[in-house]
With several copies, the nearest count.
Chain A
């Protein structure tokens, strides 16, 4: 196949494409590629070249005959031709008859000469695009012949945030807090009675290793939190909540045999 698209640019082996794009191209190529031709126009262009004349002076009639011969040969060799090739063959047969027979005045539509001229144009255009593609690929290319800056100094975007707060904002915030205070007063001492979930979780995690056997949850309550009922309540609640958290994390098992029965836990895994 004598093409002036340099074969260098062809992917010789498309199997080295890893992605679906290459895959798809390959799949379609199987249908389109007849003995290395990319479609009937490509075949025609190659056949035209054998006439060794300027494409504009080509004999479309001779070309049509050549093509039909090729198709016949392919049929003889039982090469399965893609539908496009057969469609083109039918069209060329039609063109041939138009070119050979005297024009029928009752026949509308384009004349054989018009059709032949257009085909010649198409071939010339395809040939021109082939040459242009080759010239394009022969150009100096970025990353091969010329290069970009190796150490780009990117524009650093400095975002400066100015926080806006006025004395009014400040006073309103404080007023809001103090007003809230007057509704729900909080005092240090009350807070002493709160054993937080975080504290309980911390404690439970530390004790987890020892809870090999089923044991009552109450034995995990922190020392010194058992006398004062408020403290005890808080510690129990947070320890229970922490246990559920650990169960969720798959580190603890929990069970209770009956309503109000003692809650038992043991470490898991």
Chain B
């Protein structure tokens, strides 16, 4: 306190030299938590100081430097030079496996599209969290299809071109059927005799429907 008082008293007689004023503005802009207006800066400086001029000098001094003196609203602040923004970011890449719920939901959508949420739940036998759907939407692997023309007009989900690209498919119809999966040894559980036949038929029907709609979608 007394320091400032002294400073002010002294400076009643003479403002500090411009180089000194520039130093002051530099320190103020560095240490304050918010951008400072010309007036705010001047109020901190010894009497008779010219913050505007000091700011101009300082601004010039920092031109092309790693940080710049910039206008923020009606205040001034020191900020990282725009081209060095990348230094302030650290990117961590993480490869994560898709959760079982997500991959199953995705598989159902791929095989049965367009498919409503309650149909997905029907097939999975458990409810599907909206988090799972949101994630697949965010990944841009699924998107909304046409509304189903049934009571409540539920939304349907379909797979996207991104999905096809990611999984290296020309179209969703290229996905192998259950019988092919079994032949390829991808089905570890052997269903009871007789049961699977019916199933396959069901599925093929479903696929057919899907395929038709799909042609609509991608054409």
Asked if A163 and B96 sit within 8 Å, CB to CB, the answer is yes
Contacts of B141-161 to chain A: CB distance below 8 A: none
A180 contacts the other chain (CB 8 A): yes
Beta-carbon contact of A136 and B176 below 8 Å: yes
In the bound assembly, the distance between CA atoms of A174 and B179 in angstroms comes to 12
State whether B181 touches A132 (Cβ < 8 A): yes
Does B194 sit at the interface, judged by CB under 8 A? yes
* Closest B residue, CB atoms, query A187: B122
How distant is the Cα of A143 from the Cα of B31 in the complex, in angstroms?
A: 10
B26 to chain A: closest CB distance in Å?
12
Nearest-Cβ distance from residue A216 to partner chain B, whole angstroms: 31
Q: Contact between A125 and B123 (Cβ–Cβ < 8 Å)? A: yes
Would A176 and B104 count as touching, CB distance under 8 A?
yes
Contact, CB under 8 Å: A118 / B89: no
Please give, as numbers and ranges, the residues of chain A lying within 8 Å of B65 by CB-CB distance.
none
A114 at the interface (CB under 8 A from B): yes
Q: Is B192 an interface residue (CB 8 A)?
A: yes
B56 / chain A contacts, CB cutoff of 8 Å: none
> How many residues of B are counted as interface, with CB atoms below 8 angstroms from the partner's CB atoms?
77
Give B82's nearest chain A residue, CB to CB: A140
Which residues on B sit within 8 Å (CB–CB) of A122? 122-123, 125, 192
Partner of B186, one of A39, A137, A172: A172
Given that A118-B192, A165-B103 are known contacts, is A132 also in contact with B31, CB under 8 Å in the complex?
no
Chain A proximity mask over B89-121: 1 for CB below 8 Å, otherwise 0:
111111111111111101110110000000000
Interface residues of A in 77-100 (CB under 8 A from B): 84, 91
- Stretch of B6-14, B15-23, B164-172, B208-216 with 4 or more beta carbons under 8 angstroms from chain A: B164-172
Which A188-208 residues sit within 8 Å CB-CB of chain B?
A: 188, 191
Residues of chain B with a CB closer than 8 A to A154's CB = 31-32, 88
State in angstroms the CA–CA spacing of A176 and B33 once bound together.
54
Closest A residue, CB atoms, query B79:
A146
Does B62 have its Cβ within 8 Å of any Cβ on chain A?
no
Say yes or no: is A139 at the interface (Cβ < 8 Å to chain B). yes
Instruction: Verify if A74 is at the interface (C-beta below 8 Å from B).
Output: no
Q: How long is the Cα–Cα vector from A38 to B195 in the complex, in angstroms? A: 23
Interface flags, B165-200, vs A, CB<8A=1, else 0:
111110000011110011010111111111110010
**When the two chains form the complex, which single residue of A114, A143, A157 contacts B194, counting CB atoms closer than 8 Å?**
A114
Please count how many residues in chain A sit with their CB below 8 Å of the partner chain's CB atoms.
Answer: 91
Among residues 2 to 52 in chain A, which have CB atoms less than 8 Å away from a CB atom of chain B? 5, 9-12, 14, 20-25, 28-29, 32, 38-42, 44
Contact A38 B175 (CB under 8 A): no
Distance, CA A161 to CA B98, complexed state (A) = 10
Asked whether, in the complex, the Cβ of A147 is within 8 Å of the Cβ of B85, the reply is: yes
Query: Shortest beta-carbon distance, A110 to chain B, in Å?
Result: 4
- Contacts of A100-119 to chain B: CB distance below 8 A: 109-110, 114-115, 118
Chain A residues whose C-beta falls within 8 Å of the C-beta of B167 in the assembled complex: 136, 139-142, 165-167, 170
In Å, the complex CA distance between A61 and B163 comes to: 41
A141 CA / B164 CA spacing, docked (Å): 10
Q: Residue B80 at the A interface, CB < 8 A?
A: yes
Contact B99 A129 (CB under 8 A): no
Q: Chain A 126-142 against B: per-residue CB contact (8 Å), 1 yes, 0 no?
A: 10111111011101111
CB pair A115 B195 closer than 8 Å? yes
- Contact partners of A152 in chain B: CB under 8 A: 31-33
Determine the distance from Cα of A202 to Cα of B18 in the docked complex, in whole angstroms: 68
- 13 more A-B residue pairs beyond the given contacts A140-B168, A161-B95, with a C-beta to C-beta distance below 8 A: A21-B134, A21-B138, A25-B101, A25-B129, A148-B33, A152-B31, A153-B32, A155-B90, A163-B102, A169-B98, A175-B178, A178-B187, A179-B191
Please list the residues of chain B having a beta carbon within 8 angstroms of any beta carbon in chain A.
1, 27, 30-34, 44, 77-82, 84-85, 88-104, 106-108, 110-111, 122-127, 129-132, 134-135, 138-139, 165-169, 175-178, 181-182, 184, 186-196, 199, 203
Write the residues of chain A forming the contact surface with B, with a CB cutoff of 8 angstroms: 5, 9-12, 14, 20-25, 28-29, 32, 38-42, 44, 84, 91, 109-110, 114-115, 118, 121-122, 124-126, 128-133, 135-137, 139-184, 186, 188, 191
6 residue pairs from A and B, CB less than 8 Å apart? A25-B131, A109-B194, A150-B32, A158-B91, A178-B178, A184-B125
State the 6 A-B residue pairs at the shortest beta-carbon distance, nearest first.
A41-B125, A39-B126, A24-B131, A133-B107, A110-B194, A110-B193
